[in-house]
Structure formats: structure tokens, C-alpha cells
Amino acid sequence: MKRVLFAFIFCVFGLASAFAQTATPTPTPAPTPAPAATPVVDDTQNVAPDKLQGVPAIAPNYSSDDRTLPDLGRVGVDMTDQRSLTLNEAITAEFDLLASRGVYEPRFRGQTYYERATVPNISFFSPETDSVTSKSIAGNVGLVGYVPKFGTVLDATFKTAQVGTDNLVQIISPQYNSDFTFSLTQPLLRGRRFDQNRRVIEIAKRNLSLTDVQFRQRSIEIIASVQRAYWDLTYALRNLQVQRDGVRDAKDQLAHNRRLVEEGQLAPIDIVAAETQVANFEQSVYEGLNTVTVAENALKNLIAPTRTDVLWSESVTPVDSVDLDAPTTSLSEALDAALLNRPELEINQAQKDINSIDQRYFKEAKKPQIDLIASYTSSGVGGTLNPNFRNPFCANNPNPQQCAITAGPALQTLIDNVGGPATTITDIFQNKYPTLRVGVQFNLPVFGDKTSKAQYGRSLVEGERLDVQREQLEQNIQVDVRNALQTLRTAEARLRAAAISRENSVKQYESEQRKLDNGQSDIYRVLERQTALTTARSNELKAQTELNKAISDLQRATGNSLKANNVVSLLK
């Protein structure tokens, strides 16, 4: 029953439309061009969608016919803030390298102290007292140096001390003792070619290079993200402009329909269809506003340094040309560029270098620890005769000098040659009391060094894993480049199709308007053509922006984003 009623109404409307065509038709107005944009002052404009202000004229006369090479520039944003934050990591890594090298710097070391000690007297030669007190002032200073190439340790130390005592059998008090010692420790097996200190330095070098590569990788990711966000905002603003113009065209069509109804050429119900078209386009304007807000916030989030930056309160208007030429590159050229420039491969190579250092160190650690040690010491002595000295072998002789003579010539010679504190220095330079020591020290595990063997084996496994990882990276990069090139070619085809669709939609809309004026069409077909034209206008720039994003993705896939956008790494 409903279908019969609908058919009856349709026939009535058709007859009324045919009857109305006998009058002289009023020409259908052509779509009006968009006026120049005015700046947005208030975020909450209480105006009609077709009167919306503050919509920038994004490519108002856009057409894909002109394919001149545009100025790429810097993607319309300043990347300095993003790069400076990441540069701190590289600066930190360089200080790590300097700290690692500092282990081989020559070092002064020393100490000085005063000591007073009282100990019980249990000596057979001085039974007169039950305790002995000694006072001493001592100090030493030394210089330690290294020969990194061979793992050699050199040590030169000077020691001096002044010791005084009330011990009756101590001939000299205070006594001055000094010596100068030079020692050498040379690894013979483990640590001669490579040791822990050299390993730390080499790893720090690789980490510095690794940080540089990671910084460039992050820069490429940021550039690609900003490019995509920039073109998303460009399309969102252009789409908002198209939807706003669609409302104007729909209102012009509504006014034209009302005149035709007044002239009797259309039925009153045709006004309802035109009003519905206006409402639909108004809804598209609101949706377009929301899309612009989302796209603009995404771009601001990438380029604004802080959440309180003035950029958040400003309207961003893209000004770069949207008509970019797609690069003409072959698959083999793109793959060669990607394998040369992609940071992931450089990161993998740095990790392999670090693994080679570990393998070298752990292989060295499996060797026995046998070191050659050698030292030479020159000593000196000085002081004054102890006034309380008593020779226990001539206790009845009150003259200590005579008692010393009777004790033997060696003791008398010692007393005669002992001088003041300066004597200790002259004795050292005269090499009066030398001591030479040469030997070997070793540290060997009883049941074999299982720890070093296990660490070396693990480093070999890690090396194999990194080799497999590189193969996977190269294959993933190949897939990435292939997909980027395919997306680029598809985007070019879509742009051509969208341009043809827009051109044909204009012709179809104008033709349908003429048919309506001549009584050969109806308002529903005109509105369909109007909707199709609005969609085609929006899709054409969408296809162009998708092509621009495909160009950006190809730059990222080939690792060429920095060079293509004139971004120079601060680390170079």
C-alpha cells in the first residue's frame, strides 16, 4: 500500500513539474567563489555555516594541471627545539668518553700523618722502664702512570719519616728515614694486548657514535611526523573551505528553487529537498571544523616547545605550495639509498662493533694472569744521637761514645756518618742503600676460568644474533621502500583520477542545471550532482596531500629526510 501511495505522489509531482516547464525558466546560479579569509577573533562565532569567518583560503584556485617543482623549504616548521633536547644525550655520551679515558691519566697520590704510640717494654736490654713511647711524623707522595698500549703500570713513590723514641737502646733519636722507589708491573699474558680499561674506552667511543645515529634517527621520525601533520592540516582547512562553499552553493540553489516555485516551474516539495541539502552541508561544515581542530592540535603538539607557548592560542595557516612533484626514482636506486642512509643499519653496526670489543676482551680474559714485577729502591738515613742511649753490654761505663767503640767499629762508623734530615736526601741520590727486586706474580684458577669462557661464548652468540638482526633489518627496509614506492605510485594515480573526477563533476553539475532549466531533469539529480561536485573538490586536494605524505614517507624509507629538507645535524 505504501509503495502504491509513493508511486502516486511521484506521478503527481512529475506532472506538476512538466506543466511548470512551459514558463520561461530562471537561469541556475553558478557556484560563487570563496571570498578572502579574515582572521579569527572569537572562537565561538554565532554565525551561519556559510558565513563562517576565519577560514583561510587554502589553494582556492587549486588544480593539479601545474606540476612545477615547488620550494620544499623546512616543512613550514622550526625543528631547533626538538633537536636541542635530543642533543643533550650526545653531549652526555661525550663526557662518558672523556671519563673513560681519564683512567689512564697520570695520578699524584700521597699522605702525611703524625703518630704517637706507647707500647709495653718487654726487651731484655732495657729493663729500666716498663713502657716505651715513640713519636713519628711521616709522609709519602707518588706518581702513577700507564702505558695503555701494553697495559704497563709505572709507579714512582717517595717516602719520608721522622721517628723519636725514649727507648734507651735506640742509638739515634730522632731518626730520619727516606726512600725513593720506582716499580713496574707488566702483564705477560692476560691484559697485555687488551684489558678492562681499554675496553671501556672503546665502548664509550662506539656509544658516542651510537648516540649520534640515534639522534639522527629521531630527527628523521620527527620530520616525517611533522610533514604528515602539516599536510593533514592543509587538507582539513581546504576541506572546510569546500564544505563552506558547498553551503553557499546549496543556499543559492535553494533560493533559485524558490523562484522556480513562485514561477510555477517546480513543485513546493522541491524546496524541502534543497533545504535538506543545505542542512547536510552545514553538518559537514561542523565536522570539518572538528577535523581542523584535531589536525591543528596534532601539528602544534609536534612543534610547540611547551604547553604554555603562544602558538597554542594562534591559528596555524599552512602557506607552502601543495603541488609537489613526486620523485622519479627506481626501486634499485631507492634500495641503495636506504641501505646507505637508514640509521637502523648504523645502529646495528655500532652494536656489532661493541660486540667485537667484548669478544676481544673476553678472549683475552681467558688467558692466565701472569705479571712481571720489578722495583728499585734507594734509601737514606739521618738523625741525632739519642742522649738517653745506654749500651746494654757496658752498663757500668757512663760514657756512651766509649761504649760504642768497644762494641765494634761498624757501630762507631754509623754514628760518625749519621747527619741531619738532609742526609736522607743525599743518601738517596748517592744510591747509598739500594734495593733491587725482580719477580713474577700470578693468579690462576685451580679448575679453569669458567666465568671468562662463559662470557666469551655468550659474546659469540650475541654476535651471531646481531648478524641475523641485520639481515632482518635489511629485509624490513626493503619491504618499507617497496611499500613507500607503491604508495607513491598509487597516490599519483589517485590524484589523476581525482582531477578527472572533479573536472567531470563540474561538467555534470552544470549540465544537470541546464537540464533542470530546460525541463529535462529534476531537482534531485541536480542536488546529487552538487553533492558529487563538493566531494570531488575535497577529494582532489586530499589526493594531492596524500601524494605529499607519500613523498615524505619515501624520504623516511630511504633515510633521506634530513638532506631533502635541508636539516643539518648539529653533531657534524
What pLDDT, on a 0 to 100 scale, did the predictor assign at position 483?
Answer: 92
**Which pTM was predicted?**
0.59
Give Cβ neighbours of residue 234 (< 8 Å, ≥ 6 apart): 58, 318, 320, 322, 541, 545
- In the block, residue with C-alpha cell 524541502: 272
Give Cβ neighbours of residue 20 (< 8 Å, ≥ 6 apart): 260, 263, 264, 265, 266, 267
Q: Where are the beta strands (DSSP E) in 126-260?
A: 131-147, 152-165, 172-187
H/E element holding 377?
strand 369-385
What pLDDT, on a 0 to 100 scale, did the predictor assign at position 124?
Answer: 56
> What are φ and ψ of residue 91, in 5° steps?
-65, -40
What pLDDT, on a 0 to 100 scale, did the predictor assign at position 406?
Answer: 47
Give the relative orientation of helices 343-365 and 450-517 as an angle to the nearest 10 degrees.
Answer: 170
Domain for residue 155, yes or no?
yes
Domain for residue 123, yes or no?
yes
Task: Say how far apart CA 563 and CA 55 lie, in whole Å.
Answer: 34
Domain for residue 390, yes or no?
yes
Complete DSSP assignment for 224-240: HHHHHHHHHHHHHHHHH
Task: Say how far apart CA 445 and CA 429 lie, in whole Å.
Answer: 43
Please choose, from the candidates 458, 554, 462, 207, the residue with its C-alpha nearest in 3D space to the C-alpha of residue 347.
207
Number of neighbours of residue 158 by Cβ within 10 angstroms: 16
Q: Say how many Å lie between the first and final Cα of the chain, rounded.
A: 81
The residue range of the domain holding 413 is 113-192+369-448
Domain for residue 35, yes or no?
no
Domain for residue 149, yes or no?
yes
Task: Say how far apart CA 277 and CA 463 lie, in whole Å.
Answer: 67
Give Cβ neighbours of residue 482 (< 8 Å, ≥ 6 apart): 331
Handedness of CA 42, 46, 52, 53 (dihedral sign): negative
Domain for residue 203, yes or no?
no
Domain for residue 118, yes or no?
yes
H/E element holding 108?
strand 107-120
What pLDDT, on a 0 to 100 scale, did the predictor assign at position 513?
Answer: 81
Give Cβ neighbours of residue 258 (< 8 Å, ≥ 6 apart): 271
What pLDDT, on a 0 to 100 scale, did the predictor assign at position 481?
Answer: 92
What pLDDT, on a 0 to 100 scale, did the predictor assign at position 23?
Answer: 36
- In the block, residue with C-alpha cell 709507579: 155
Domain for residue 121, yes or no?
yes
Per the structure, the count of domains in the chain is: 1
Mean pLDDT by 10 residues, the chain (572 residues): 38 36 40 41 52 67 50 29 26 45 72 82 64 82 84 88 74 81 87 80 77 81 86 88 86 84 80 83 84 86 83 80 82 90 89 90 85 88 72 60 52 63 82 88 80 86 90 92 90 88 87 79 81 86 88 88 70 44
On whether the CB atoms of residues 178 and 380 are closer than 8 A, the answer is: yes
